[in-house]
Amino acid sequence: MQKKNIEIEFRSRFGVKKYKALKRFLSVNAKDLGEDDKDVYFFLFPDKLLKTVNNVSKKTAKIVLKLTKIGKGSDFEEIEVPINQSDFEKTSKMFMALHQGDFMHSFQKRQNFLYKGVELALKWSKLWGYHLELEVVIHDKNKKQFAERKIFSIAEELGVKIMSDKELREFTMRKEREYKNNK
């Protein structure tokens, strides 16, 4: 059996001015991992997140199950199943038909960087606005504290405020309500 990938990830939100400053800084000082624009359907569950992802930039697609919901800790075990990009819409439609709960659809403009061992996804989406995801992938839960310290150190260096679990829960709940009301 394959090793578990556990993503230790945190998020920060900010305005366009900080976004542009981060993009300039990272373009000069980090390894540019490329554009990573994604069209995503999020299927909402109380304790996990299922999503279909069309990676427009890389011309790939996948189904992803995060076994922890955003706002319930920093560690996210993920199960990913690659699918043909041509099957993205059909797969998303199938999950919409099967899923009894709510779902959200979002396009994310993304640029990925690697900076001092931390993967950074500099993003914009209509739902989240300008934001940054900071991530370290581990295979052993005993490395979680080390990964978290590393991420917080980079966030401090970049001058971004990491959102707390409470802030993430409140923000995502508000965005889910707004999305439902605007459907």
Cβ–Cβ < 8 Å for 52, 91? yes
**CA torsion, points 69, 75, 77, 81, in degrees to nearest 10?**
70
Cα 24 from Cα 13, distance rounded (Å): 17
Whether residue 151 is predicted with pLDDT greater than 90 in this model: the reply is yes
Percent of the chain with pLDDT over 70: 95
Q: Whose CA is closest to 57, among 83, 78, 38? A: 38
Quick one: pLDDT band at residue 140, thresholds 50, 70, 90? confident
pLDDT digits (tens, 9 = 90+) for 64-81: 988 877 766 666 778 899
Looking at residue 36, its pLDDT comes to 95
With a CB cutoff of 8 Å and minimum separation 6, the contacts of 148 are 8, 10, 74
As a whole number, the mean pLDDT across the chain is 90
Whether residue 183 is predicted with pLDDT greater than 70 in this model: the reply is no
Q: What number of other Cβ atoms are within 10 A of residue 156's Cβ?
A: 11
* CATH node for 6-182: 2.40.320.10
